Amino acid sequence: MRTAIYGPIGAGVCGGIALGVLLYRFAPQPAQPQGLYHQVPLWLGRFLFWVGIPLSIVGFMQRADLSGNLYLAPAVAWGAILLGLLCSRLWIGADRLPWPRPTQGSFSLAAMLGNTGYIGYPVVLLLPQLGVSVFGWALFYDALGTLLGSYGLGAILAAELGGRPRPQGRQWLNRLRAVGQNPIILAFGLGLWLQAVDLPPWIDQTLYRLAWAIVVLSLVLMGLRIQQLRSWQHLHRATAAVAIKMLVLPLAVGLGLTALGVDGAPRLVMTLQAGMPCAFSNLVLAEAYDLDRDLSVTCVGLSSALLLLTLPLWLWAFSGE
């Protein structure tokens, strides 16, 4: 089982790391923002955001089972996000050292928001005991939970604690409208509509194969981003945020679902999603609202490196009935 999940994930991530090393050594102007070393992950990230991930959602939704209590997934996602926010504020309040407001913002975002798309989808799809049939749980958790949490509550928090002027009300209306126009949300709606449409077999098969290719590209992007991480400052605070995100939240979700009588694949999917590494969107929010960029980068790098160590824990604890 470990080979089935770690092999493809490790191959994709290591491929991205190797690509990053090659670009740094052989591409022109590796230290310049316009060089291929920096531009390739940007292009790949934009392609995945606007085309790749939405396309994979549509492809996998054709074969996913969307019956059952899928509404529970976004409810659990929001519960985990709010618990992460609460734990982060309690930790900041208990620490005797001074916390600048931008550092507080980056710490809370890291503890709240996980990478349930770029990394969460491949993990769920590649696990032999999960796969495409339960992809709907991961999709609902991400699209109606993490995505809205990142650019809704996360953006509000970043604006409150960041170093830039707070947006006015009409700007917030525009931001909420932008969330509704997000390509992942649009693909989610299109996939639901196509569930009732009988696509020709060749279209269905093509979409399915393209969706798996996007999974591989997502892992390659993760490797590229890890290879480019240079900041490992603030390890003490980053370790606390990552511990909340990757230990406290999945444990609370797994135990809470067990207490509610939810078991099997749905419980495992939601527990794994709750335990995903800190979201790449935190870097976007840190840049947009002038938060503590170094802390955000350190949290993303540390949590991504720890993923393969925490996965076996949740598989062992919550795989059973």
pLDDT number for residue 178: 58
Would the pLDDT of 230 be above 80? no
pLDDT number for residue 3: 54
How many structural domains does the chain have? 1
Would the pLDDT of 313 be above 80? yes
Q: What is the mean pLDDT of the chain?
A: 86
Domain containing 118: what range?
A: 2-318
Would the pLDDT of 134 be above 80? yes
pLDDT number for residue 176: 61
Work out the pLDDT band at 171, boundaries 50, 70, 90. Answer: low
What is the SS3 assignment for the chain?
Answer: CHHHHHHHHHHHHHHHHHHHHHHHHHCCCCCCCCCHHHHHHHHHHHHHHHHHHHHHHHHHHCCCCCCCCCCHHHHHHHHHHHHHHHHHHHHHHHCCCCCCHHHHHHHHHHHHCECCCCCHHHHHHHCCCCCHHHHHHHHHHHHHHHHHHHHHHHHHHHHHHCCCCCCCHHHHHHHHHHHHCCHHHHHHHHHHHHCCCCCCHHHHHHHHHHHHHHHHHHHHHHHHHHHHCCCCCCHHHHHHHHHHHHHHHHHHHHHHHHHCCCCHHHHHHHHHHHCCCECCHHHHHHHHHCCCHHHHHHHHHHHHHHHHHHHHHHHHHHCCC
**pTM (2 d.p.):** 0.85
The mean pLDDT of 89-93, rounded to a whole number, is 96
Would the pLDDT of 175 be above 70? no
pLDDT: which is higher, 268 or 223: 268
Work out the pLDDT band at 77, boundaries 50, 70, 90. Answer: very high
We report the CATH number of the domain holding residue 260 as 1.20.1530.20
Work out the pLDDT band at 168, boundaries 50, 70, 90. Answer: low
